[in-house]
Structure 1
Amino acid sequence: MNEIDLIKEFQHIEDNFNRAVVTNDIAEIKKCITSDWVLVDSQGGIIPQERFFEVLKQGLLSHSTMKKRVLRVKIYDNIALVTGRGQNTGTWQGEPMEADEWITDVYKKDGDEWLCVLTHLTPVKK
């Protein structure tokens, strides 16, 4: 598969992941990730999915918009590194929030589908 087709394929996968996160529905998000998925960000460090889901359940975090433009995809056997730029809005602890970030998602092929293993966020320098 050429680079343009890879980017299109993973843009679709990322769009589905983003839609799941915006639902704030843990069951929907779990369809896109592995059971050991983690989030890595500059403020919280390595955040296990259990902690991420607990924050969602408590209503401390919710997303209202989320988009990512896939810029780079590299595949190594059954692992894909997907890097792009994303923006999201929502609330954190009842206060409005918005983010503009460089995002790298690590995917693992499971049968015929790609599931996210790790999401790494880096704020875009203003």
Structure 2
Amino acid sequence: MLKKYLGQLWILLAVASLYVLPAYAADPADQNRAAVVAELKRLSDAWDQAIIRKDRAAIESNMTEDFRQIDGSGDIETKASFVDGLVSDKLVLDPYTVEDFEVRLYDNVALLSGRSHMTGRYDGKPFKSHYRYIDIYIKRNGKWKIVSVQISKIPQP
């Protein structure tokens, strides 16, 4: 009797697993989210590298025409003024890395944030900057583009 009961229990568990296991399988939405996050990370890294290289075309190709930046002093920059400042001969940026990188997705809007320690020279004078930032990307016509940047200075210790 026990053998028959265990056999029936085994069949019941096997049938139940057909209904339960798919819930634990990789959700296509999660896979798609991971692909979008990876794409945005790649775009963000490529943009950082273009900024260091002063590659105007690559910088601008990642931006919307109505791009705005709010800098650490609360000033607003347009796409043109932002890019002009980055590619200026007065500015030399050392390679930098981003810490605490995070992506939050909301349909066709993505918020990319992190911290960066930036060093370089402006008009020949060395500078150090430590800041937190948020880059806002939107998806238009199937492409992610940065529409806004805001930075907040973190005081030097």
The TM-score normalised by the length of structure 1 is 0.81
| Structure 1 Cα separation of the partners of residues 43 and 84 of structure 2 | 24
Segments of 5+ residues of structure 2 without an aligned counterpart are 1-28
| Structure 1 Cα separation of the partners of residues 79 and 121 of structure 2 | 19
* 2:82 aligned with 1:52: yes
Q: CA deviation at 1:102?
A: 0.6
Q: CA deviation at 1:36?
A: 1.9
Please tell me whether the aligned partners of residues 119 and 128 of structure 2 are also in contact (alpha carbons under 8 angstroms): yes
Bigger share in helix: 2
Please tell me whether the aligned partners of residues 88 and 100 of structure 1 are also in contact (alpha carbons under 8 angstroms): yes
* 2:66 aligned with 1:36: yes
Equivalent residue, structure 1, for 2:131:
101
Matched residue SS, 1:65: coil
**How many aligned residue pairs are there?**
126
- The change in CA–CA distance for 1:25 and 1:78 in structure 2 (over 3 A counts) is same
Please tell me whether the aligned partners of residues 104 and 121 of structure 1 are also in contact (alpha carbons under 8 angstroms): yes
| Structure 1 Cα separation of the partners of residues 49 and 88 of structure 2 | 20
| Structure 2 Cα separation of the partners of residues 44 and 62 of structure 1 | 23
Identity, % of aligned positions:
25
* 2:101 aligned with 1:71: yes
Q: Runs of 4 or more off by more than 6 Å in structure 1?
A: none
| Structure 1 Cα separation of the partners of residues 55 and 153 of structure 2 | 25
Which structure's CA Rg is the greater one?
2
- The one-letter code matched in structure 2 to 1:26 is R
Segments of 5+ residues of structure 1 without an aligned counterpart are none
Q: CA RMSD in A?
A: 2.4
The TM-score normalised by the length of structure 2 is 0.67
* 2:133 aligned with 1:123: no
Provide Cα deviations, 1:87-118, integer angstroms capped at 9, x if missing partner: 22222222122222111000011334321111
Q: CA deviation at 1:8?
A: 4.3
* 2:55 aligned with 1:25: yes
